[in-house]
Structure 1
Amino acid sequence: MWSLNLPDNENKLGIIRKALTYQDGTSKYALSEVEYEAIESIYDRYEELNGRVHEDLLAPNLSEDTKSAIHDGYGEVQEGRRLENYRSELLLSAERCPCCSIGPADELDHHLPRSIYKSLALYSSNLVPMCHKCNNKKRTAAGTEPSNSFLHIYYDKVPSEYRFFFANVQIVDNKLRISFELENIEQLDDNLYEMMKFQSTRVNLNRRLLKEINIFMTSFYVLMEPLYSKTSDPEKIKTLLLDGERQYNQKMGMNDWRSSLLYALANNFDYCNGGFKDIVGIEEAN
């Protein structure tokens, strides 16, 4: 969740060439070497800007016909088309959606919208793996300020060695009340914090995570109940949950929602002291 490694851009111009030719090699739309050089310059500028909104990325030196051809060439990235393997390679870079860390990343989002930044339609650094729900929520969001922008998954590196994503848990009337929140810790850049807040709100992260908790915790319930029935020791339950947290820290990072949830539950005495057995539902904390 939050960050992915930058994809390999070695064949960045070859992708355009393939998108703009038919299977038999004939041209759909021919680009001149000058145009390819202009596109490469735009890509380089994208790298310099870390994918931020800028008028330079609107490709003023390319004709509207050329930009439209590149825009339409993205159709070859879809399943069953000539660049299907390109799509697959990008999707395989993410085990789960980096926005929510719930579902598989099975769609590609244009970080800067294809409808506006047409020349970037095929550039891998602008193609971000996401799940359908997050992609649908993001749509054409390309704000100019941190408070209305998504993280750029490839460029915005959040600290992995400090916890900034916390789960708050309470037991009220045999219901587990849970909310997740970001904390603007000292080690977290203010701009990153604002982007993560906007992103989390835009994709309805809190509400969506509540639906996942029952499913996720089932395997822990199966282990906790016989352990507590045998020992009546809350420290045993805490240790079990913290062991799970460490495993998810190693696999997904300490700011993954599963790690944050297990950490919070392990440090809730009422939950570990048998309270987990009487939970009849989960609801969002106010």
Structure 2
Amino acid sequence: MWSLPLPDNENSREIITTALTYINGDAKYQLTEAEYETLSSIYERYEDLHGKVHDDLLANTLSNETKQAIHDGYSEIQEKKRLTDYRSTLLLSAERCPCCSISAADELDHHLPRSIYKSLALYSSNLVPMCHKCNNKKRTAAGTEPSNSFLHIYYDQVPSEDRFFIASVELVDGKLKVSFEIENIESLDDDLYEMMTFQSRRVNLNDRLLKEINIFLAPFYVSMEPLYEISSDPEMIKNLLLAAERQFNSKMGVNDWRSSLLYALAHNHEFCDGGFKNALGVVEDG
């Protein structure tokens, strides 16, 4: 969740050539050597800018016809087209959608929109794995300021050791109430905080996570219930939850929602002291 390693761009020219060539080898659109060099320079500039909005990335020295051909060449990245392996490689870099960490990343989003930055339509550093729901929300919100922008998951590196994604839990009339929020901790850059806050709100992250909690916690109930019946010791339940949290920390990071939830539940004495037995039937928004 939040970040992914930068993809390999060594075959970027081959990707462009394939996208602009029919399966029989005929050219859909022929680029000159100078145009390939221009694209290479634009890609390098993209790296320098870490994918931030800039006029240099509009490729104004390329003809409109060339930019449109590259824009249209993205169709070859769709499923069962000539660049489907390229698509699969990018999608497989994310075990889950980096925006929500709920669903599989099954679509590619253009971080800088393809409609404006046509020359970047095929560039892997501009192709971000997302789930359909998050991609749909991102598509209608391409801002230029931290307060209205999504993270660039390849460049915007968030703290990995300090927990900033916080789950708050309480039992109210025996029901579990949960809410998630991003805390502006000292090690978190202010711009990143604004972007993550906007992104989380835009994809309805809190509401979507609430629908996942009962499903996620069901296997833990199966373990907690007999353990508590034998011991009646809340520390045993707390230790079980913390052991699971450490596993998720190792696999998904401390700021994955599952890690944050398990940590919060482990430190809620009422939940651990038998409260879980009635609490896991219904989870309500905090």
Q: Please indicate the TM-score interval, normalised by the length of the shorter structure.
A: over 0.9
The alignment's TM-score, normalised by the length of structure 1, stands at 0.99
The equivalent of 2:159 in structure 1 is 159
Structure 2 residue 91 is the aligned partner of structure 1 residue 91: yes
SS of the residue aligned with 1:274? helix
Tell me what 1:14 maps to: 14
**What TM-score does the superposition give when structure 2 sets the normalisation length?**
0.99
Q: CA RMSD in A?
A: 0.7
Q: Provide the C-alpha distance between the structure 1 equivalents of 2:142 and 2:119, rounded to a whole number of angstroms.
A: 16
Q: Which residue of 1 aligns with 2:129?
A: 129
Whole-angstrom distance in 2 between the partners of 1:122 and 1:261: 38
The 1-side partners of 2:18 and 2:282 are apart by 53
Distance in 2 (alpha carbons) for counterparts of 1:271 and 1:174: 9
SS of equivalent to 2:170 = strand
Give % identity.
Answer: 73
Structure 1 partner of 2:171: 171
Larger CA deviation: 222-231 vs 141-150: 141-150
Matching residue's letter, 1:14: E
Where do residues 104-253 of structure 1 align in structure 2 (5 Å cutoff)?
Answer: 104-253=104-253
**Aligned equivalent of 1:69:** 69
SS in 2 for 1:176: strand
Query: Separation in 2 of the partners of 1:85 and 1:182?
Result: 36
Instruction: Give SS of 2:9's match.
Output: coil
Q: Which residue of 2 aligns with 1:282?
A: 283
Q: Aligned partner of 2:170: which letter? A: Q
CA distance in 1, matches of 2:25, 2:38: 23
Partner AA of 2:137 in structure 1: K
Deviation for aligned residue 1:141: 2.6
Q: How many residues of Structure 1 are paired with residues of Structure 2 in the alignment?
A: 285
Partner of 1:50: 50
Task: Identify unmatched segments of 5+ residues in structure 1.
Answer: none
SS at match of 2:169: strand
Q: CA deviation at 1:173?
A: 1.3
Q: Which amino acid aligns with 2:282?
A: G
Structure 2 residue identity aligned to 1:136:
N
Which residue does 1:38 correspond to in 2?
A: 38
> Which runs of 4 or more aligned residues in structure 1 lie more than 6 Å from their structure 2 counterparts after TM superposition?
none
| Separation in 2, partners of 1:117, 1:70 | 10
The residue identity in structure 2 corresponding to 1:49 is L
1:67 alignment partner AA: K
Displacement after TM superposition at 1:24 (Å): 1.2
Contact 1:111–1:126 (CA<8 Å) still a contact in 2? Answer: yes
Rounded Cα–Cα distance in structure 1 between residues aligned with 2:283 and 2:161? 30
Is 1:24 aligned to residue 27 of structure 2?
Answer: no
List per-residue Cα deviations over 1:127-186 (Å, max 9, x = no partner): 000011100111143211111110000000011010001000010012111000000100
